[in-house]
Structures are given as structure tokens and as C-alpha cells.
Amino acid sequence: MDLGLHNKVALVTGASRGLGYATALVLSQEGARVAINSRNAEALQKAAFSIQEQTGHPVLAIPGDITAPETAQALVQEVVSAFGQLDIVIANAGGPPPGPFATLDDEKWYAAIELSLMSQVRLIRAALTYLEKSTTPAVLTVTSYAVKQPIPNLILSNSIRAATVGLTKSLALELGHKGIRFNSILPGWTETERVIELMRNRAEMNGTTIEEEIQKQARESPLGRMGKPEEFARVAAFLVSPAASYVTGVMLQVDGGMYKGLL
């Protein structure tokens, strides 16, 4: 199936590894012109080179801390300067740290808000002018299935990602008349570096091993395993593509059935 992504311009944040990297790779494989962002300049350049090597398409690497207020505008301007347009924004960032409620002070809450909500608010706001000029504009926020089924010891993520879902749905309603589509993916447990870090934290708390914690969590899925980043990425590429032109305001779980609710 042709997703219609050839020569579309996509900006993917949090893309030096994990879900962001996998999504940027699939977009490039589909013929999109891709810009990627991450705080770690060295890791980002390696990611860009890896994608280019696999797809034969150039990738623009723009390092920067997406939690800094000025970064979003600078990112968008550099993408437009390089490619002349912007059609797709994938607002992705690493999640807040784990921890029980009593251990989290105001500073940690505010840092989590900057990372998991305000970075996406600013990125979308900076991109809006250019998305309005696109014939196929699409925005995807990356949240978590925790917004429907809270995950123990991840109260920052459980709380703040729910705000991003509210933002995404609200923008789908507010800006649909301009043809801009807004959707969110709610990933479940996926084999990424962040998940390994979370499993390490659980292992330390429970006196177990990382492997034992991975196996325990995998059993929560009817499929009996965690997801793979490329499985997330293929869904993401579809949602931002012209092939999904009548899909907006959707909060889609890509979680292997880990969410147990009906709605």
C-alpha cells in the first residue's frame, strides 16, 4: 500500500533512539524527507547516518533540548529553511522518571510538565503556520496507554500524558476546519532503551533481575510479549500519512492488548 508520503516533510522529536528513531526510519523508507531531533548531538548524528545508510535518503539532524522554550521555534525554522515546507510533526519525548507520589517534589513535577506536555504545546504552536500551508498536514503526539490504565510507580507519566491527550483531541476539534489532523498513539510496553531503564528500576525495587521483570510485564499482553519499536513505527507512519486522511482525534493504543478496558 502506498501511504502517499513521498516527498512529504516530517519532523520527529526524541528520535535518536527508541520509538522516535524507528518512526523516522519508516517515514524515510516511505520516501518522506525527515528531520530528527534529540538533546544528544552525537547520538542524533549516528541515528541520522543509520537511517540514511538504510534508506538512501538524506536526514536532517537538529540537536536541541525540546524542553527549552526557544527550541521548538528554532527546530521548525531550520526544517523549513532546509526543505521549504513542513507537512508532518511527530511530537515525541522521553518519559518522566518513575517514583511514588510522596517522593516527587514540585521541581520534578514542573520538569515532567515541560518534558511531556509543554514541549509538545510549543512544537505544535511553532509548526502551525507551516502546517496550514500543507495540503496534507498531520500531527501525532506520543503518549502512553497509561492515560487509560495508570501504571504503578509512574504517577508523573500517568498524570501529565493525560493532559497531552486532552490537548490532542481539543486541537483535532479546533483545527479540523483547516484540514490539520491530530492523533495520538498510546504505546504499551515496547522494547526500547527507556523501558529497559524502567525494568532496571523495578528490578532494584523488587530484588529481581531485568530479565525477570521484562518477562513479568510481557505476560500482561495477550500476545505474551512486549512490542517492537518498528511495530509502533508502522502505525505512526500510517496515521500521519495521506492514507489516513479521514482519521483525526483518535487516541490509538499500540499495546498488544495490555489495556483491559472496553473503551
Neighbours of 62 (CB within 10 A): 22
Cut 0.75: pTM above it: yes
Please give the chain's pLDDT, 263 residues, in tens: 899 999 999 999 999 999 999 999 999 999 999 999 999 999 999 999 999 999 999 999 999 999 999 999 999 999 999 999 999 999 999 889 999 999 999 999 999 999 999 999 999 999 999 999 999 999 999 999 999 999 999 999 999 999 999 999 999 999 999 999 999 999 999 999 888 988 998 999 899 999 999 999 999 999 999 999 999 999 999 999 999 999 999 999 999 999 999 98
Q: Can you give the pLDDT at residue 49?
A: 98
d(CA 199, CA 208): 10
CB 106 within 8 A of CB 121: no
Q: Can you give the pLDDT at residue 60?
A: 98
User: How many angstroms separate the Cα of 223 from the Cα of each of 151, 202, 216, 258?
Assistant: 19, 22, 13, 9
Q: Can you give the pLDDT at residue 257?
A: 96
Domains of the chain in sequence order: 9-188+228-254 (3.40.50.720), 192-226 (no CATH)
Place of cell 495490555: 258
CB 63 within 8 A of CB 127: no
Please enumerate in sequence order all residues whose Cβ is within 8 A of that of 258, keeping only pairs 6 or more positions apart, or say none.
Answer: 145, 149, 188, 189, 220, 221
DSSP, residue by residue, 184-214: EEEE-SBSSHHHHHHHHHHHHHHT--HHHHH
- DSSP-assigned beta bridge partners for residue 91: 141
Q: Can you give the pLDDT at residue 193?
A: 87
Joined grid coordinates for residue 191:
522494547
Looking at beta carbons, which pairs linking 198-205 to residues 24 or more positions away fall under 8 Å? 198/98, 198/154, 201/98, 201/153, 202/153, 205/153
